[in-house]
Structure formats: structure tokens, C-alpha cells
Amino acid sequence: MALNITIMAYDLLPKFEINSQSAMMEAIELLTLPLAYQNGSARLLTGDLVVRDIEHWCHRKAHRGGIEPVMAVVFFNTGPDAVDYVKIKAHVAARAGVDYWVYEMPADTSTIEVMNQVKKLNMNPQIHGILIQRPLPQQLNEAKIMGYIDPVKNIEEYDNGQADNIAADALVRLLTRYGLLESAQQAKIQIIGFGNIITKDFIKQMKRQFPYVSASKDFDPSHDTSRDKQEAEEEVQAPRASMIISELHRGPGFIKESMVKPEVSVLVDLGFYVTEKGVIGDVSHALFDRSDLAIAPTPGGVLPILLWIMMERTIKAKQMIAKEDLRGCCCSPIMDCDKESNHVNISGIDEDSLKHPKPDTSRGAGSRRTRAESKPARWWEGLCPLSSKTMQSLEPPSAREEDCLSLPSYPAEAKARTRAIDQYLAAEFQRSKRQLKIILFGDEHEKSLFLKQARLLEVPLSNEDRADVRAEARRFVASICRECLHIVDEHACKPEWINAHPVLGRVKEIVSSEEPEDEETVESMVNLYCDAELRLALMQFGHNFNDIERRFLNSRYPHILTCPCTANGNLSKLLKRIFAPEYVPIEHDWFHFDQRRWRRVAQEALIHRDSHTLQLLQITDRSTQRRKWIHVLVDDAACLLFICNLAIYDQTLLEDETINRLHEDLILFSSLANSRWFAQTPFFVILSNISAFRNKILQSPLFKWFPQFEGGNNGDAALEFIKDRFRELAKPDQDIYIHVADIYSTEGVIAAIETMENRSLRRVLQELGMAPNECKDQSSRPLKRSENTLGP
């Protein structure tokens, strides 16, 4: 039976199919968190998971009923930032399946003209969502304009006809996703600034949602006086707040590290500045190094959620309007409109309506209002390709249609598309039934190694992949050399010793210099590291360089020592091979020396069998607390795969030397086995690196770390003892199977997959009418290359 594997890694962020290169960069900059932010110590509250959930919902709901959802944006060209933001929303709309119409109005327009345009949009049955693009020109009355929008279509302030500010909704969803909503109910929240996102309605909504909310004064973003900046800085430094929400308009990176006091635990950045370096918010880069802070950054925080909620509410408004149209009568009067010119007829708005604007809520109970209207100007056509349906112009109704408008018709192409969607959903349902989700837990390096081995079953390392691994392996090895030379400098580079052995002076010179960057300097450092003269000099003063080397690797990179390739070898030879001019990386180098951390939150490997598919899912963001996201993954998990490296039984954690690493793995396994989320989930435990474990047990007895073990240096007894520890931690009725393997080899990975199918997944496969097949001849197993693969 063929073992076909597909690797897919997703960022959980939407990717746009767009034509304009500059607009593409703007869209990516708004939604993607810069890599420099991810390298900090602060906890990042990104909106990627919330965006994925909304995107999936939009894809399911957008085209139901054969009617395309339409969002209309009233746009005032007040500057390049406003144009950029409108274009970015156009791409999000295209991704969500929402038609995006822009009505551009002059910057010197009056409130009456804007309200007349809003009234026309209220009456247009083909428009489902209305958005007034901020910032508005100063002469306009924002309260009157916003109050004149039909509540069903007002996607910024209403959700399903109920008052709900869109920015507050986005922030609440973000806090909920990270499990901070309950804490926010008890926190003192300080809102500082005022602008396009922090509005009066936003503040009102926040005060309704949370009991301890205070808002600062309205800092005027139109000028930049030193007094105004000083007052803004004082608001940031307010000691009473434990959560700060900012939109200060004081310039990119205005909030410095010195302004944020230790009492602040959450910082929500709603600032938005397009600079030469990309999109930047109010929070400076230095704050991302504070480990006691949780930051919702710009870009990547609340703003992507806000954009996708606009699309979600437009689709919801379409559903409400469709239900209302089916219930009501089709007759309605037609508004007068001058079709021969661009003149705007404002006779429909009187002085009373300006003083007391009322939303148009007369849609139900037997009336369906419409009007004649020309096709809106779609100036971004080159940016967002339009469907054939949205290209149709809105011609005025005929005389017969004025008397009684018919219900929306469903053309043949819409019916065909609906049938195709239904067939696709049915096929997806059948496919999802045969796709078994397997969640990986355990040792971080062993999980990564397992997925890399799975990738190599299908696709070998390409020349481009090897070039990337070559540079990364040399950088990683150079950092090891430098750290070990630092240890030598601390213990052996005394003035009198340097005089006796000049090689120690070379060590002092290298560690005293700045970080080496050029290739020649790095090679010189590696040559010194491998120099036999250095090792002889250290031995004369009672220091063993091999012991220094191994103690460092054991504490920082234990996987290098426990790997069968290096467990009994000379590391100096390994380092010389990597810095040889003709060096070509091998799979071993990719496994151990490529330490790049990807921005992806999750990685998955799809293993295609004859009758089913195994989906291996690994969470790679180690800073995320498991209890925050575990309930999202375990809904339909078929098995939990736990990988434990046996060779780390005598090692301690880097952050706490009092905790044994094997003890830590046992604690993690206990928490999973006794979790309510996995009460009915079978466990498949892989005890890996068995060869290195048997070799190490002879020199380092297990009873030093597990006093209850009485088997001495017997490797088989030690293995059974560790198996018993795992079994004791599970519940009596827990379905658990323990498999021993060396996942450093391809054969070990394939054997583990087949054993998992025949043990832990057998019942699930039998319930689906599929029996696992065994493949006895592993060497003759044909592997088909998959289209979706992940590079190193």
C-alpha cells in the first residue's frame, strides 16, 4: 500500500490574489506581523486565528441564495492614508466573496449631500452593507450622517440590527480567543486617544462591556504641539490602568518603554501609520522585549479582525434583507432622480430630518423600497477583478416594474453555481469523514524531526533547500564555537597562562571582539576551536575541552549529543566538515543545525493512505498557553501522538536546572492524559532515540534521577521502568499504546505510522468501514510526490 504524504504549513492569515504590486504589499503589511516583533519576549495577541474563523464562515455563507453580498463605501479622498485603507478593504472583500462598491465624494461636500447619498444607498436593494470611510472632512456632521444609515445596513455600529460597535467587537473577539476576556472584566482599562477607530460609540460600547473603563481627553490629531504630546504622554503613564488601548495620532512608535508602567499587563495598539519601513502603530519596538506585557500590535492585531468583521456583517445584512424581502410585499414607490446629469436631488431631505435624523426602518411589514440608480464608480477595477454579476449596471425600472417589482430572479448560471457548491460541500463532507486528525505533543525537537522525516519520505532536499541549510548550519555552528570559547576565556585565559600559551591569547582576542560577520573571521574562529594546541594547553591547566564542550551542548542543545550520528563521534570533525569549501548539507544537518523559527502558528502533514488520510497537526508557537487553544483542536481528534526522547533522562531544563527533562515530559503527559478534552481520545506514545538511550545508560545510571529504579545499568529494565511511569499516569480505562522507535531513521517513522494505525486508530477506522493495511516490505513501498510540500 502506498504511503503518500503531503506537508502543508499555514500562517492562519488570509492571502490575497491581487493585481497591484503596491496594493499587495500594503495588504500584507497590514495583516502580517513583522518578524522583528516575533523575536521579542512580549506575548503577542495576533488576530490570525480569529481571522481564519471569520474567513471560513464567510466562504460558507457569502454566495448562498444566488445573491452576491455588496458593501458600499462612501469615501472622501482626504489623503493617501485614506486611499490605502480603502484599497486594502477591497482585497479583503475580494477574499471574502463580497462585492465592494466605492462612492467617492468631494472633500468639500456638505452634510446634506452626504445624507442624500446615504439615503439612496438605504433604498438600493442590491446594497447590503454601508460604511462611511473615516476620517470625515471637518465640515461634516458625523453624528447626523451615521444616524441616517439604515440600522440593518450600518455594519460599523450595528450587528443583526442591534447596536454593536465594530472595533469593540473586534477587540472582544481577540481577548476571547486568548482567554483574556474574564481578566479584562476585572481590569482597569484606560482608552487614550481618539480617531478613526476609537470613536464615541467605541468608548460607549467598551463601557457597556467592561465595568472599569476610563477614556482620555480628545487629543486633536490635526496639530502637533509639544503641549499636546506632553498630555498624551501623561495619559499613557497613568498608574491606574492595567490595560491600555491607544490611538494617539502622535506619530509612529510614540509610546516608549519608559512610559508604560509595570502595572500595565495588556497594551492594545490601534494606531496606523504608513511609513517607509512599513505599517507601524503607536507602540515602539522596544516594548516588544518586555516579557511582562501582552501586546496586540499594529500590524497583525485588532485591525485584520476589524476588516473581516465588516465582511461578516455585510453577509449577515444580506441574509436579513433576503428574509425580509420574502416576507414583505414587492410594491414600493420609486424616488425621483435626475438621470441626465450628475445633479443630486436633495428634495427628499427636509430641515426636520436634518435636526432629528431617523434611520430608515420601514423595510418590513409589507414594503420593499427601491430606486433608480446608476452604477457606482468603481475606480479600483484594476485592483480587484469583478464578477459578471457585479458588472451589470443598475438600470432604472420600467413602467411595469414601477407598479410591482418582481422578486429577485435566479439566473441559470446562479443555479448551476449553487449546484456546484452543493456538490463540493458534499464531497468535502465525505473527505472530512475519512481524514483523521492526530495532534502532536511532547519534545519540541522530536516533533519537528518527525515532520521533517515525513517530508523526506516524499520530497528530498532540493538544491535551493540545501543552500539555505548550508548558511543556517554555519551560522548555528559558529554560535556554538563562540559560546564554548567564552567558557574557556572565563576559566583559563589568565594573564600568566596567556604568556605561557599564546593560543589562549587568540581566544581572548576573539571573544573580546564584536560578533563576527564575515566568512573569513568565522572560519578562523572555527579553526581555533578545533586546534589541538588549544586542547593541550587546557589539559596542562587541568581543564578538559571535550568536557567543556559537552556540558555546554548538554545544557543548550542536547539533541546534538543524543543523535546517533554524533553520540560517539568527534564533534571537531563534524565542525570541520561544515566549514569545508566543498560542504554540501545532508539530512542530518537539516535535522539538528537548522534552528530557524517560522512565523507559522501550526504545521500539518497529510499522510495519504489508500482509504483514508492522516492529518498530523503540530502547534509550533511555544509561547502560547495550551489551555487557550486546546479546545479548538480536540473537537474531532482521532488520536494524540506524544513523542518522548529517552536520551534526555539525565538532563535538566535550561530555564530551571532543578527540573529533570524526563520528569517534565511525564508531567506534560499526565496533564494531557487526565484532561477532560482527551477523555475519549486514544494515546499513542513514541519513546524515541532508543539507541542513544541504551548507550548512555551504561555510563549514566537511571537511578540517579529516578531513585525508585533498581535495575542498575540494564537497558531493558530501564526501558520497562519508563513505560510503567507513563502507564501509571494514565487513567485505568485510558486507551494508551507505547511504541519504541528511532525516528532518526525513515524506517522508524514508517513503522511508527503503521503501528499507530493498527493499534490506536483501529477502532476509528473500523467504525468508518476502513481496515488498516500493513505493508511488510518497507523498502518496496512506492511514495507519490505531493503538490503541497514544505521546505526546510
CA angle 45, 51, 55 (to 5 degrees): 170
**Distance between CA atoms of residues 370 and 351, nearest Å:** 23
Q: What angle do helix axes 502-512 and 463-492 make, rounded to 10 degrees?
A: 120
**Distance between CA atoms of residues 401 and 334, nearest Å:** 10
**Distance between CA atoms of residues 289 and 572, nearest Å:** 35
Find the length of the chain.
792
User: Would you call 499 helix, strand, or coil by DSSP?
Assistant: helix
CA distances from 784 to 6, 439, 449 (A): 9, 24, 21
**Distance between CA atoms of residues 553 and 547, nearest Å:** 10
**Distance between CA atoms of residues 42 and 33, nearest Å:** 13
Phi-psi bin for 689: left (phi > 0), alpha (psi -120 to 50), beta?
Answer: left
**Distance between CA atoms of residues 526 and 295, nearest Å:** 40
**Parallel/antiparallel/unpaired status of strands 294-296 and 736-740:** unpaired
Phi-psi bin for 751: left (phi > 0), alpha (psi -120 to 50), beta?
Answer: alpha
The answer to the question of whether 448 is labelled as a binding residue is: yes
The answer to whether the beta carbons of residues 329 and 365 sit under 8 Å apart is: no
Does an H or E element contain 552, and which? Answer: helix 545-556
Upstream peptide bond of 460 is cis (omega within 30 degrees of 0): no
CA distances from 601 to 48, 298, 449, 453 (A): 9, 18, 17, 20
**Distance between CA atoms of residues 88 and 90, nearest Å:** 5
**Distance between CA atoms of residues 147 and 504, nearest Å:** 78
Phi and psi dihedrals of 81, rounded to 5?
-65, -40
Residue type, 578: I
**Distance between CA atoms of residues 288 and 268, nearest Å:** 12
Upstream peptide bond of 299 is cis (omega within 30 degrees of 0): yes
**Residue 619 per-residue DSSP state:** E
C-alpha cell at 561: 549529543
Upstream peptide bond of 385 is cis (omega within 30 degrees of 0): no
CA atoms within 13 A on the CB side of 679: 3
DSSP string across 227-262: HHHHHHHHHHT-TT-SEEEEE--S-TT-B-TTTS-T
DSSP string across 276-318: TTEEE-SB-GGGGG-TT-EEE-TTTSHHHHHHHHHHHHHHHHH
The answer to whether the beta carbons of residues 41 and 289 sit under 8 Å apart is: yes
Phi-psi bin for 262: left (phi > 0), alpha (psi -120 to 50), beta?
Answer: alpha
Closest CA to 471 of 593, 588, 591: 593
Report the greatest alpha carbon distance in the chain.
108
**Parallel/antiparallel/unpaired status of strands 613-619 and 637-645:** unpaired
The answer to whether the beta carbons of residues 115 and 352 sit under 8 Å apart is: no
Q: Which residues, other chains included, contact 393 with Cβ-Cβ below 8 Å and sequence gap of 6+?
A: 374, 375
Q: Cα 545 to the chain's mean position, in Å?
A: 43
The answer to whether the beta carbons of residues 98 and 69 sit under 8 Å apart is: yes
Q: Cα 526 to the chain's mean position, in Å?
A: 38
C-alpha cell at 630: 486546546
Binding-site residues for Mg(2+), in ranges, read: 448
Binding-site residues, in ranges, read: 448
